[in-house]
Amino acid sequence: MKVLANDGISPEGVSKLEEAGFVVSTTFVPQDQLIDVINNEGYEVLLVRSATTVRKDLIDACPNLKFIGRGGVGMDNIDVAYARSIGRIVQNTPAASSQSVAEMVMGNMFAISRSLHDSYKNMPVNGETEFKTLKKKYGKGVELNGKTLLIIGFGRIGQALASYALGVGMKVTAVDMSTATVSIPLTIHGIGTVHAEITPTNDLHAVLGTADYISIHVPKQADGSAVIQKSEFNAMKDGVRIINAARGGVVNEDDLLAALASGKVAAAALDVFENEPTPRKDLLTHEKIACTPHIGAATIEAQDRIGGEMADLIISAFIKA
């Protein structure tokens, strides 16, 4: 059986699949050539991440395609329900990248609290001649300890983030469709694990005004609407800081820029954008926005876990124990 890992797969994943008898290609195929290559080369398994989309037209045009895998959490680039309705297997690896995304969000919170992202850009250019000016500009940072972090979407990533945030002394609240109490483990090496209980609310507007920091971890909405837009910004406290490492479009970008201009939002960090892979320049160049190119899950450790887990899913689907 042939596997096309169009957006790549870790060496661990390749090794597992090849040892199980699969033939694996990691050569990227452009979207407009994908149908022809899948059919001509006889691929029965297609693995993607964010770069490749798998819509109804491709699914219908590739009748021999049996398994569609998405390395990572969200599957909004795949017509999942349709594919499953006609008997195709669709799987993802939602747990593999939770820690990587959570760690990047923590890094973003530190960065936008001390304007590190902007300082890193300006110091090489102007530090030699404007050192005192830059020192004054960046000398009004804030600490994370004691601040309230609101996590919107309290799944695996949100819970991993909560553990890190509690570890640096933040207060953590959460919004989720489920309001069941969650036990968050904090592992202290050499000492053991302690647990903190967090009970999410499903009333976003009830808690927006309590947060010093807001991190968003929800999928793209089915109707395309933003989770955070003008009405939500208006409900926040002045000087809030926002991180979006979920999906482009869950924060309205025009409303975010307006909130930054008014001072409602002190700073933001964006790993995802509405118009990927060509995000708007006024976001990328804004001194109060820390930007990264959708790399939340892109650590060596996460890629190894994603590749290994995806290989296991494929093997279990086609090889009987």
List the 23-25 sheet strands across, edge first: 23-25, 2-5, 43-48, 67-70, 89-92
Q: Report residue 240 as tokens.
A: 């809030």
Bond preceding residue 219 cis, omega within 30 of 0: no
294 catalytic? Reply is yes
276 catalytic? Reply is yes
DSSP character at residue 263: T
Contacts of 57 (CB under 8 A, 6+ apart): 35
SS3 30: coil
247 catalytic? Reply is yes
Q: Which amino acid is at 120?
A: Y
The Cα 135–Cα 73 span in angstroms is 40
SS3 196: strand
Q: Which amino acid is at 60?
A: D
Largest CA distance in the chain: 68
Write phi, then psi, for 213 (nearest 5 degrees). -135, 145
Neighbouring C-beta atoms of residue 309, cutoff 10 Å = 21
Q: Nearest 5°: CA angle at 115, between 111 and 118?
A: 105
Q: Which of 88, 294, 305, 309 is catalytic?
A: 294
Asked if residue 318 lies in contact with residue 69, where contact means CB atoms within 8 angstroms, the answer is no
Q: Which of 217, 247, 286, 305 is catalytic?
A: 247
Distance of CA 112 to the CA centre of its chain: 18
Q: Which residues are catalytic?
A: 247, 276, 294
